[in-house]
């Protein structure tokens, strides 16, 4: 059965659409409503993607069911959802799974969270009874390939954009970002994008501080965070492990006195300040404070430029490893398909042998039991010897991508799936 993927990601859908399609808290109902959509099904729901991976005897019918499911999650957005949905079949679907698990399709190239999220989604599908032998093999091999990419390349160590560099700097300075507080001062596109990268890297406590509180509330709703006005800036800074600043203010909003007061309230715990405002909104003197690390737009751009070439090389190496993994998946899938087919062929010859021995049993009645067993062993050996060469050649051709010998044998002997006679 061919595999297919239906869903949206940060490539095709903005945040509000991904939020509307999020399956957080409703996975059980989703699996229930899709009980007849496909033979095997894994649903993935993260902040950057909501996707269904399916195996179905009728892929086109499964695609239609999955499209209808996603559009039904937010009927008022159905036209936008229809346009944003991406559908992949066969090898394209397998390749997509490999790239997603290896974080080559992530907003932050090489981020570590996606593999854990994919494993959790797979375990959820196992718990829902939607994973069979086929998907077990496919997903376990995808996870192994992703682990090999992480261990054998430098993917993720060399981000190429300013927001992704900011997220990496935060991870290297503070370690795991889950549970870390991120404050966004202002509402510029770059600040939002940097916040998205930080969330993708694990940050899950966001606060938005803006001159216009309504704007802060809008962002807080989108990112499931808190909102504040500039009059509470010191309090926001005191909570923040990471501050992303991008405003249109003509002068610095965060000076050394304000930063020092915030540091005192947080008992000198380390802070990362990321100023991507033009002109700068964080006084450079803030960077001289103990336990405060300040990066501005030029710093991040320099790091991104230095990393760009190494990142491209690492990405090429990662894709080569994934190509090998895809070839391995093909070989495994073909072997999985070959087993039952070759079994049917062997069973057919064995049934013919057994029937002929039984037909001759009257003429062999004079033989002693041990001699009759010798006849059985001899006929089994002849059948095995006759089949050995053809089976080896059929398997070798099939594993190279050909199936004409197997198909010809099945047609020649009238064998269909499930026919063991």
Residues 6+ apart with CB under 8 A from 160: 109, 304, 307, 308, 311, 312
287 vs 309: CA distance, rounded Å: 29
Contact (Cβ atoms closer than 8 angstroms) between residue 4 and residue 63: yes
Catalytic site includes residue 209: no
pLDDT in tens, 60-97: 999 999 999 999 999 999 999 999 999 999 999 999 99
The pLDDT score that the predictor gives to residue 160 is 61
Burial class of residue 273, CB neighbours in 10 A (0-12, 13-18, 19+): buried
Check pLDDT > 50 for residue 421: no
Question: 149: which 2 tokens?
Answer: 């990419």
HSE-CB at 207 with a 13 A cutoff on CA atoms is: 21
Classify 370 as helix, strand or coil: helix
The pLDDT score that the predictor gives to residue 308 is 64
17 vs 248, higher pLDDT:
17
Catalytic residue among 8, 47, 62, 170: 47
Angle at the Cα of 390 from the Cα atoms of 384 and 396, rounded to 5 degrees: 120
Residues paired with 55 in a beta bridge:
3, 40
pLDDT in tens, 199-244: 888 888 999 999 889 989 988 988 889 999 999 999 999 999 999 9
First to last CA, the chain: 24
Which pLDDT band holds residue 375 (cuts at 50, 70, 90)? confident
Alpha helices in 271-368 (DSSP H): 297-359
Check pLDDT > 90 for residue 255: yes
For the chain, domain boundaries: 3-158, 162-300, 330-412
In CATH, the number for domain 162-300 is 3.40.50.720
pLDDT in tens, 104-162: 888 767 777 789 899 999 999 999 999 998 899 999 999 999 999 988 888 766 666 67
Average pLDDT of the chain?
86
Least confident of 50-59, 330-339, 405-414: 330-339
13 vs 83: CA distance, rounded Å: 9
- The label of the residue with tokens 């067993």 reads 373
Residues paired with 181 in a beta bridge:
205
Question: 67: which 2 tokens?
Answer: 């499209």
Task: Specify the pTM.
Answer: 0.63
254 vs 274: CA distance, rounded Å: 11
Which pLDDT band holds residue 339 (cuts at 50, 70, 90)? low
Alpha helices in 175-251 (DSSP H): 189-200, 213-223, 233-239
Contact (Cβ atoms closer than 8 angstroms) between residue 106 and residue 159: no
In CATH, the number for domain 3-158 is 3.30.460.30
């Amino acid at each position: 059965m061919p595999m297919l993927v239906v869903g949206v990601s940060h490539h095709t859908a903005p945040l509000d659409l991904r939020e509307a399609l999020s399956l957080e808290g409703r996975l059980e109902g989703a699996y229930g409503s899709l009980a007849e959509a496909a033979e095997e099904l894994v649903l993935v729901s993260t902040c950057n993607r909501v996707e269904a991976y399916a195996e179905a005897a009728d892929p086109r019918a499964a695609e239609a069911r999955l499209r209808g499911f996603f559009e039904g999650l937010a009927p008022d957005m159905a036209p936008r959802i229809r346009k944003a949905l991406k559908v992949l079949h066969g090898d394209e679907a397998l390749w997509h799974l490999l790239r997603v698990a290896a974080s080559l399709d992530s907003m932050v190239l090489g981020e570590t969270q996606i593999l854990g999220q994919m494993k959790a989604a797979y375990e959820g599908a196992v718990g829902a009874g939607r994973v069979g032998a086929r998907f077990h093999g496919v997903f376990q091999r995808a996870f192994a390939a992703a682990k090999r990419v992480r261990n054998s390349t430098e993917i993720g160590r060399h981000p190429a954009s300013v927001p992704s560099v900011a997220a990496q700097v935060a991870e290297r300075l503070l370690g795991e970002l889950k549970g870390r507080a991120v404050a966004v001062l202002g509402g510029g596109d770059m600040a939002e994008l940097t916040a998205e990268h930080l969330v993708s890297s694990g940050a899950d406590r966001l606060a938005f501080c803006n001159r216009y509180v309504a704007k802060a509330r809008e962002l807080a709703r989108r990112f499931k965070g808190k909102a504040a006005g500039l009059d509470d800036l010191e309090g926001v800074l005191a909570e923040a492990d990471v501050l992303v600043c991008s405003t249109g203010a003509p002068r610095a909003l965060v000076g050394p006195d304000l930063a020092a007061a915030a540091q005192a309230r947080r008992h000198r715990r380390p802070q990362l300040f990321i100023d991507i405002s033009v002109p700068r909104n964080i006084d450079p003197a803030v960077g001289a404070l103990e336990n405060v690390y300040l990066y501005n737009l030029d710093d991040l751009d320099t790091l991104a430029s230095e990393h760009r070439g190494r990142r491209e090389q690492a990405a090429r190496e990662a894709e080569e490893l994934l190509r090998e993994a895809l070839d391995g998946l093909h070989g495994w899938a073909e072997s999985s398909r070959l087993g039952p087919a070759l079994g049917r062929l062997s069973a057919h010859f064995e049934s013919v042998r057994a029937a002929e021995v039984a037909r001759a049993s009257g003429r062999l009645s004079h033989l002693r039991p041990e001699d009759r067993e010798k006849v059985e062993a001899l006929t089994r050996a002849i059948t095995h010897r006759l089949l050995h060469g053809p089976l080896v050649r059929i398997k070798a051709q099939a594993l190279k991508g050909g199936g004409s010998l197997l198909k010809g044998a099945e047609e020649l002997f009238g064998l269909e799936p499930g026919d063991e006679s």
